[in-house]
Structure 1
Amino acid sequence: VDGELVDGATSVDESMLTGESLPVEKLPGDAVVGGSINLTGFFKMRALRLGADSVLSHIIKMVEQAQGSKAPIQRLADKVAGIFVPVVIGIASLSFLVWWLFGDSLTALPMSPALFGMVAFVSVLIVACPCALGLATPTAIMVGTGKGAEMGILIKGGESLERIHQIDTVVFDKTGTLTEGKPRLLQVFSANDPSGSENKVLALAASLEKGSEHPLARALLAAAEDKKMDLQPVADFKTLPGFGVEGKIGGKSLLLGNVRLMQEQDVGLDSVQDRIDQVSDKGQTPMILAVDGTVAGILGVADTVKPNAREAVDRLKGQGLEVVMLTGDNKQAAQAIAGQLGIDRVLAEV
């Protein structure tokens, strides 16, 4: 069901549809697409498109149509077979009639003319049967697409397989193809809090997020678990859709979220603006932790490149192919990933 959000606010994972690795904030009036995943908050939506009219259904139909398409060589084989079959049947029938009517006058037959004519009829069909012509091409395509599937490559149709030798450009999606498809904590900075440290910043942030299902929260919790940190209890926890979270730990008020949240809560960022810019320039999402109205630290979270992605890109470029990255993610994140992979051409926010 596709619809429109009419009440409430939430964060939605649309990576299956758009390739955007980070959640998309949804407010009243925003479109909600069936197949996306609600991550935080409750909301009401007005249904606009059901079943076959939904975006996901249209995508499925396009894939089914592509899989049912025939390669040009297969269409040619079917066309030739369509002409060849009646011609062969005609020749076989003529052979039967000739031997049946004139067999005795042509030569001494080992059997009756009618039976010998039937043998001739069947022999012509066997020798001239176009089965090989009609089956060879689809069999080759089936084997090719099957081998591709074994290697994790989905070939949508025979025509695509046949045209592979003409390729001069390879276009990759980013999320889940070139990258792992899930955010990870990459950097932690402690601000000017004299009692602070990078581990303390992470411990506080992870404690605050332990009740959240947001992908960025899961990245912090995974990092804290790797370091075997003990998380503290949180009081008055509240999710702020589009901004972050807030709560109290040990009697102190904590905020964790984006720059907009800090600005809304009048938290000064001048002393850490360079750090925020540094994290953003690397294509990471800066998560800012504030304790009692003062910035305590910054955490950089981003999707990470698959171990074999650079090798695959280099091998394709070595064959003279141009490699392009296509993503619904923001330009900074896309350029950062492209830089790690040696990809020069990037189409982001599409």
Structure 2
Amino acid sequence: MESPSRAKSPLQSLELEVGGMSCDNCAAGIRKALLAAPGVHAPEVSFALGAARVEFDPGATSAERIVAVVVDAGYEARIRRAAASSDEATRAEDALREARQARLRGVRVAVGVVLSTAIMLIGMGPERPALAWVGGRDGLVAWLTAIVQFGVGFEFLAGAVRAARLRTSNMDTLVALGSLVAFFYSLGVVVLELDPKLFPIHFESAAMIITLVSVGKFLEARGKRDAGGAVRALLAEQPARARVVRDGELVSVAIEEVRVGDRLVVQPGEKIPVDGRVETGRSRVDESLLTGESLPVAKGPGDRVFAGTLNQNGTLHFEARAVADDTALAGIVRLVRDAQATRAPIQATVDRIAAVFVPVIVALAGVVGSFWWAIGATRYFPELSPVATALLFAATTLLISCPCAMGLATPLALVAGTGVGARRGLLIKSASALEATGGIDWIVLDKTGTLTLGTTAVVRASAAPGVALDEIAALAAAVERESEHPYARAIVAYAHAGPFGRTATRSAVRAVAASAPLVEDFEAISGQGVAARVDGHVLQIGNRRWLESLGIDLAPLVSRAPDAPLDGQDVDASAPAATSIFVACDGRAAARFEIGDVPDPTAKPTLERLRGLGLGLTMLTGDERSHARSIAAALGLAEDAVVAGVLPGEKAAFVESLKAKGHRVAMVGDGINDAPALATAHVGIALGSGTDVAIEAADVVLVRRELSAVADAIVLARRTLRTIHQNLFWAFAYNVAAIPLAAGIFVPLLGPHARLSPGVAALSMALSSLFVVTNSARLARFDPGAAGDPAWRRPGT
């Protein structure tokens, strides 16, 4: 038996902020270094996010050692603070550090632009005797180029050295090799006093290489920040301080000092610091930060409030229920970060290409240089030295190749897409979930609480002969208060409210719970009903099929029509038919409740929009077929789009049957009995108002209750996939077209002018990455609720 000291420790998760990466190959090198460290499991490193996530065994290593591994590899690293744990000073420190880094990048770019311009102007001018002390015109140009090469370009040289230490290569390798070749070749021409007609000097090319790529990286960093701004925006909404009642006094404390159970006060215009439940006061709260819903929500005693939301017009006194990393805001930030750190399936192919891209380009540059030195130079450029011609084409080939665009194409679009989702209350749990959502062609929707509001009510009730309806209703309510099903809440509300105003509110449930008799042996039978012992009686409450399977004769309830509507008025003939719930007491039929469900007013237009997106639709429910059909008719669904009377396991089987037919299926639900189907579908979509089990099983969580968010999620996923495909097409098409041009393949066909200079090649490389960054930043401003754009109306577009 293994001793406790040798037992494996549970794995812990660590997130790092990583600086100094120049392309996805840097991330691969860090991943390789982390994998070689003891106790580290499944490291994920994202160049687009500048972050790493590591699972590690605390018995074999520590967070500090893992940071040291990254630092030893030549990169900057620090532990990322938890979503809601940063105090005001820490946030100011982070902002100052980011501003300092941006300012340093800006200074480097400015110096590079000024010196590169001077190098070109001086290089084109005449020799001046006054410059003899620095070696003449060419000597001055050499000194200025050295400042650009080793000052402005230091980050590229350092990056190339880091990659070499990790036995890999990256974009810095290409920039460093290309610029150093141009610089030292030109320096050799000047020092050896070679004929510049045979050996043209390319100091301006070396300087322009460094400057143009620096400008590109500067703009790329700004674009990446714009694309990934959603998480920062969420974190910025967390107040740094809160007013808490301590010893009868109202005091202001740092947010980290708030504890569960504290009483807090929020004035109009202030942001709510932690999650809680209102005790006194009424107000309206802007929850658009979490839900994307612009209309404020009324709050009063008993209602929940959430950290980061804005209190508008009243003072609220509330009890803290969740603080720090347990708040809804922190959970959303964590979920978005988790999703952005994952890798989409489409990225696997890109990673394999990127892993060999730079070595292949370096080898290709060697082949190109050898060709022009041995064969091509004397034939097409007789006025130049073969060595000069070979170095020119080799450097151009190195510099025009762009691994950055490939590395950024997928993750940056995913960062932007998941960020847009977070701002609109669409939480996509992983990159693979987003990719799958963009490809679905069929949606299966649960009825209760999804297509309907879930605010069900008892519209008719009847008791068996000899049974007092009020008494059996009280017993049934005592049992049903243990259940979260909307029908259970309706019965509880009926027992509490009497013959009028019967709505299934949670306050009614709490009122019944306070005075209900003791319930024992409670059991919920999935898809059937509930059973329990209460006040000396055994009750079964559920659908007709289940009670009859128990041998209970329901004829006294089925053979007669229910009593008149409870409010004494006729039921609207256009209202959906009600579902019958039967109650048996001590093995005999006791009561029948007719429960009606209210269709969600947003459901019908949402279903029409989904059809417009080219999606097949099915309503799946465990309710009776007649009731399901009436709901479907009210929503504009055809009869063949309704599957009723199914158990939870049968819901999953139906989803499997659609998958077997070749459909890419999404399941939308909110209850425990939807969890198997949510897990079975290609994409599970849970409403944020649903149960924890449903949300856990889902791939996409819709924070706002509106069903229209389902269509928004699909439109957003399709648009994100379209952006990824555009980015990848550009990245690969650029390299396929540019590399042969840089290698001089068109010179034999079009003549000596069909070649590029190293400076133009560097500009092309920078523009290639900028296209990907800019295209992804456009996605960050996308509104998935906009209609009328046909570009994302079909799966896979």
Residue 309 of structure 1, CA deviation: 2.3
Residue 122 of structure 1, CA deviation: 3.9
What secondary structure sits across from 1:299 in the alignment?
strand
Contact map agreement 1:67 1:156 (CA 8 A) in 2: yes
Per the alignment, residue 30 of structure 2 pairs with none
What are the residue-to-residue correspondences of 1:105-254 with 2, within 5 Å? 106-107=383-384, 121-133=394-406, 135-137=408-410, 139-140=412-413, 143-144=416-417, 147-148=420-421, 151-152=425-426, 154=428, 156=432, 160=436, 163=439, 169-174=441-446, 178-179=450-451, 184-191=456-463, 202-210=473-481, 212-213=482-483, 215=485, 217-221=488-492, 224=496, 225-226=507-508, 234=517, 239=522, 244-248=531-535
Contact map agreement 1:208 1:234 (CA 8 A) in 2: no
Per the alignment, residue 70 of structure 1 pairs with 346
Q: In structure 2, give the amino acid aligned to 1:327.
A: L
Contact map agreement 1:70 1:157 (CA 8 A) in 2: no
What are the residue-to-residue correspondences of 1:1-350 with 2, within 5 Å? 68-70=344-346, 75=349, 88-94=361-367, 96-97=369-370, 106-107=383-384, 121-133=394-406, 135-137=408-410, 139-140=412-413, 143-144=416-417, 147-148=420-421, 151-152=425-426, 154=428, 156=432, 160=436, 163=439, 169-174=441-446, 178-179=450-451, 184-191=456-463, 202-210=473-481, 212-213=482-483, 215=485, 217-221=488-492, 224=496, 225-226=507-508, 234=517, 239=522, 244-248=531-535, 255=539, 257-258=541-542, 259=544, 261=547, 264=551, 269-270=556-557, 273-275=560-562, 282=577, 284-288=579-583, 295=590, 297-301=591-595, 305-317=599-611, 319=612, 321=614, 323-325=616-618, 327=620, 329-330=622-623, 332=625, 334-344=628-638, 345-348=641-644, 349=646, 350=654
Unmatched segments (≥5 aa) in structure 1: 1-65
Per the alignment, residue 163 of structure 2 pairs with none
Residue 270 of structure 1, CA deviation: 5.0
Partners of 2:458 and 2:474 in 1: CA distance: 15
What secondary structure sits across from 2:561 in the alignment?
helix
What secondary structure sits across from 2:345 in the alignment?
coil
Q: In structure 1, give the amino acid aligned to 2:583.
A: I
Partners of 1:161 and 1:290 in 2: CA distance: 47
Residue 93 of structure 1, CA deviation: 2.0
Partners of 1:81 and 1:238 in 2: CA distance: 61
Unmatched segments (≥5 aa) in structure 2: 1-341, 497-506, 566-575, 647-653, 655-797
Kindly indicate which of the two structures has a greater share of residues assigned to helix: 2
Q: In structure 2, give the amino acid aligned to 1:69.
A: P
Greater RCO (Cα-Cα under 8 Å, separation 6 or more)? 1
What secondary structure sits across from 1:171 in the alignment?
strand
- Would the alpha carbon gap of residues 339 and 293 (structure 1) be closer, same or farther in structure 2, given more than 3 Å must change? same
Residue 70 of structure 1, CA deviation: 1.6
Q: In structure 1, give the amino acid aligned to 2:642.
A: V
Contact map agreement 1:189 1:298 (CA 8 A) in 2: yes
- Would the alpha carbon gap of residues 194 and 91 (structure 1) be closer, same or farther in structure 2, given more than 3 Å must change? closer
Q: In structure 1, give the amino acid aligned to 2:346.
A: K
Residue 286 of structure 1, CA deviation: 0.9
Q: In structure 1, give the amino acid aligned to 2:541.
A: G
What secondary structure sits across from 1:70 in the alignment?
helix
Partners of 2:480 and 2:360 in 1: CA distance: 75
Contact map agreement 1:95 1:121 (CA 8 A) in 2: yes
Residue 314 of structure 1, CA deviation: 2.2
What secondary structure sits across from 1:274 in the alignment?
coil
Kindly indicate which of the two structures has a greater share of residues assigned to strand: 1
Partners of 1:78 and 1:208 in 2: CA distance: 57
Partners of 1:79 and 1:235 in 2: CA distance: 63
Q: In structure 2, give the amino acid aligned to 1:311.
A: P
Residue 232 of structure 1, CA deviation: 5.1
Partners of 1:331 and 1:188 in 2: CA distance: 16
Q: In structure 1, give the amino acid aligned to 2:531.
A: G
What secondary structure sits across from 2:443 in the alignment?
strand
CA deviations on 1:216-254 (whole Å, 9 max, x unpaired) are: 5455335634385687553785657766345448xxx68
Equivalences, count: 264
Q: In structure 1, give the amino acid aligned to 2:593.
A: L
Partners of 1:342 and 1:94 in 2: CA distance: 67
Q: TM-score, normalised by structure 1?
A: 0.50
Residue 174 of structure 1, CA deviation: 0.9
CA deviations on 1:134-186 (whole Å, 9 max, x unpaired) are: 5435544554455456552747467646757xxxx531231678347968444
CA deviations on 1:70-93 (whole Å, 9 max, x unpaired) are: 28xx95x77887897666434522
Partners of 1:108 and 1:338 in 2: CA distance: 81
Partners of 1:323 and 1:107 in 2: CA distance: 67
Q: In structure 2, give the amino acid aligned to 1:178.
A: T
Q: In structure 2, give the amino acid aligned to 1:343.
A: L
Contact map agreement 2:457 2:491 (CA 8 A) in 1: yes
- Would the alpha carbon gap of residues 347 and 298 (structure 1) be closer, same or farther in structure 2, given more than 3 Å must change? closer
Q: TM-score, normalised by structure 2?
A: 0.26
Partners of 2:513 and 2:439 in 1: CA distance: 56
Q: In structure 1, give the amino acid aligned to 2:607.
A: V
- Would the alpha carbon gap of residues 268 and 328 (structure 1) be closer, same or farther in structure 2, given more than 3 Å must change? closer
- Would the alpha carbon gap of residues 246 and 187 (structure 1) be closer, same or farther in structure 2, given more than 3 Å must change? farther
CA deviations on 1:14-60 (whole Å, 9 max, x unpaired) are: xxxxxxxxxxxxxxxxxxxxxxxxxxxxxxxxxxxxxxxxxxxxxxx
Contact map agreement 2:620 2:643 (CA 8 A) in 1: yes
Residue 125 of structure 1, CA deviation: 1.6
Partners of 2:366 and 2:400 in 1: CA distance: 14
What secondary structure sits across from 1:189 in the alignment?
strand
Residue 272 of structure 1, CA deviation: 5.6
Partners of 1:268 and 1:176 in 2: CA distance: 28
Partners of 1:271 and 1:303 in 2: CA distance: 21
Partners of 1:236 and 1:145 in 2: CA distance: 45
Contact map agreement 1:85 1:130 (CA 8 A) in 2: yes
- Would the alpha carbon gap of residues 93 and 220 (structure 1) be closer, same or farther in structure 2, given more than 3 Å must change? same
